[in-house]
Amino acid sequence: MPISYAIKGQQHAHALAAYKAAYPSRDRQTDLLALLMVFLVDHHRCVSGAAHVDQWTHVTVVPSTKGREGEHPLKALVGNRLRFLWAELTANSEIGSESRAFHPDRFTALQEELDGAAVLLLDDTWTTGARVQSAAFALKQAGASRVGAVVLGRHVNPGYPDWKPILDAIKDRPYQQEVCAVHRLDGG
């Protein structure tokens, strides 16, 4: 479930790039953490309901497929704030980072204690959804019974004609914290 659109060249898209840059913007990190935490407070029931989860047991992030060293910036940002156990995924370096298709072997779960787990999967940017789907597949292969995803920004390139109808429909509708992908636009 994406929290918001991240339209190329606009503020949210810049924030998603700046928080994990070589010299990350602390302001963007704070903004994105606040966005995620407030979204989870306001829409926890929406996310868990859509995933048919009573209680999350684990949280994880979609790993970088570009060979980034160290802890994933989103995991570092969230830290222990969600109070769930961290599940760990690793990326398969043999699968090209440029591939934007689902791949069942793209990620591997590093724990064996995921039997029956309900995992909240976090990602910063959703372009095609293939990496979130591949990560969810790896978690289920490791025994997770349920996986629900929350993504900070749904990448939108206004240069692609297929996006025009959606961008036209939302151009006069600012972001509304009280509305999520589970709600209708009227909030019902």
Which pLDDT belongs to residue 186? 44
Model pTM score = 0.90
Q: Report which residue type is found at 88.
A: E
Angle subtended at Cα 48 by Cα 45 and Cα 51, rounded to the nearest 5 degrees? 145
Mean pLDDT per 10-residue run, the chain (188 residues)? 90 91 87 94 92 95 81 91 92 74 88 88 91 95 95 92 89 83 59
